[in-house]
Amino acid sequence: MREFDLIGYVHEVFRQAGAADGAGCPVGIGDDAAVLDVPASQQLVACTDALVEGVHFPEATPAAAVGYKALAVNLSDLAAMGAEPAWFLMALALPQADTAWVDAFATGMAELAVEADIRLVGGDVTSGRRSVCITAMGLVEPGTALRRDGAQPGDRVVVSGQPGRAANALRALESGDRPDAGDKLALQFPEPRLALGRALRGRATACIDLSDGLLSDLGHVLQRSGCGAVVELERIPCAETLLALPAQERWRRQLTGGDDYELCFTLPAAECGHLAALGEAAGIPLTVVGEITEAPGLTLLEPGGQRYQPQGTGWEHFR
Ligand code: ADP
Ligand code: MG
C-alpha cells in the first residue's frame, strides 16, 4: 500500500462501520482539514494522547489492541471531563504499510468508535517508528465539564474498577509468563468509563482518569484543588489476581502501576448514598478509598493505621 491507499483503506473501514465523517462534519477526510459544526449551546472539549511502540505498548501487541487502545486512552480523557464524544483525528506512523496490520488496527479502533459514538474526521500518515497519536473532541453543556480543581475537605475519594490489573498483566508479559485473561483485557482493551463520567457531571467535585497510577493522578487532583487526602490501602478495590502478591508489591501495582484508565473522583459525603446506584448505572463498581483533608499531601495508611511510604511515584517519561 502507498500512503494514499492506506488513508483510503482506513477511511473505508471507518465508513463501513459508520464511524467516519457524517452528521456535524460537512467537510471530513479528503480535504486539508475537517470542518465541524459545534452546537451553539455546547463547549468543545479537546484532548490528545499518543501511543508509541516500545514505550506504551510492547512490539508483540496485536494490531487490534493498538488501534483500540489508542482511541480508548483518549476517550478516557473525555470521560474524565464528563464530555460526550464527538470527533477525532488520528496521526499514524508505521515502518511499512502492512495491509493485514492496518486492517486489524483500523477494525479494532472502529469497533470502539462505534461503541462510543465518535467519528473519525481526519488525520495524517507518515513512515517511521510505529506510533499512533489521536486528538479527540467532545461536547459538554457550558460550565459542566468535570475538572481536577474542585475537591473540598470532607469529600470522599472514589475509584472505579480495580486499579493494578493492567500493571499485573504487563509484568507477566515482560517476564514471559501468561497473564490472567481479565488482566490482559484490562491492559490491551481498557474500557473508557464514559457512562460514569457522564453520570458524574454536576455531582463530582473533581475527577481524573488513572493513566499514570492512583498515587500520581490523585496527587494532581490534590495539587490543583489545594488540599490533601487520607487513603486507606486496604480499601483500594483489589482484583483476585493481585491478592496472592505480598502486600508491598500489591500496593505498588495498585498505586503506581498505571495504565488503569479507571476514574478517580471526589464526591461530597452527602452524595455518597447514591454511589451504588451510580456504579450500577455506569456498569462499574465504585469504591470509597479515602477522604479529602484540608492539610496538604497524600497520606496512605496501612491496615494497622501506620503511614505507608510508597516506593516510586508512577509512570513518568524522561526520568
Ligand atoms: P495534507 O498533505 O494536506 O496534510 P494528507 O495527505 O496528509 O493531507 O491527508 C489527506 C486527507 O486524508 C486529509 O483529509 C486527512 O485528514 C486524511 N487523513 C490522513 N491520514 C489519516 C488518518 N490516519 N486517518 C484519517 N484520515 C486521515
Ligand atoms: Mg499530511
Kindly report, residue by residue over 59-81, the tens digit of the pLDDT. Answer: 999 999 999 999 999 999 999 99
Distance 135 CA to ligand 2 centre (A): 15
Q: Bridge partners of 263?
A: 209
Q: If you average pLDDT over residues 9-35, what whole number do you get?
A: 97
In this prediction, residue 319 has a pLDDT band, given cuts at 50, 70 and 90, of low
Q: What percent of the chain has pLDDT over 90?
A: 95
Q: If you average pLDDT over residues 270-286, what whole number do you get?
A: 96
Kindly report, residue by residue over 209-228, the tens digit of the pLDDT. Answer: 999 999 999 999 999 999 99
Q: Is a pLDDT exceeding 90 seen at residue 136? A: yes
Question: In 3D, which of 76, 125, 77, 117 has the Cα closest to residue 98?
Answer: 125
Q: Is a pLDDT exceeding 80 seen at residue 113? A: yes
Q: Which of 3, 5, 11, 29 to mutate to test the pocket of ligand 1 (most atoms within 8 A of CB)?
A: 29
Give the pLDDT of residue 154.
98
Kindly report the protein residue whose alpha carbon is nearest to atom 21 of ligand 1.
123
Determine the atom of ligand 1 nearest the C-alpha atom of 10.
24
Pairing of strands 156-160, 263-267: antiparallel
Mean pLDDT of the chain: 96
Q: Is a pLDDT exceeding 80 seen at residue 151? A: yes
Kindly report, residue by residue over 157-185, the tens digit of the pLDDT. Answer: 999 999 999 999 999 999 999 999 999 99
Which parts of the chain are beta strand (E)? 43-52, 84-94, 119-127, 131-140, 156-160, 206-209, 228-232, 263-267, 286-293, 297-301
Query: How far is residue 46 from each of residues 139, 145, 148, 246, measured CA to CA in Å?
Result: 9, 11, 15, 40
Kindly report the protein residue whose alpha carbon is nearest to atom 8 of ligand 1.
32
Backbone angles phi and psi of 82, in degrees to 5: 75, 25
The answer to whether 230 touches 291, Cβ cutoff 8 Å, is: yes
Does the Cβ of 125 fall within 6 Å of ligand 1? yes
Kindly report, residue by residue over 27-40, the tens digit of the pLDDT. Answer: 999 999 999 999 99
Give the pLDDT of residue 312.
76
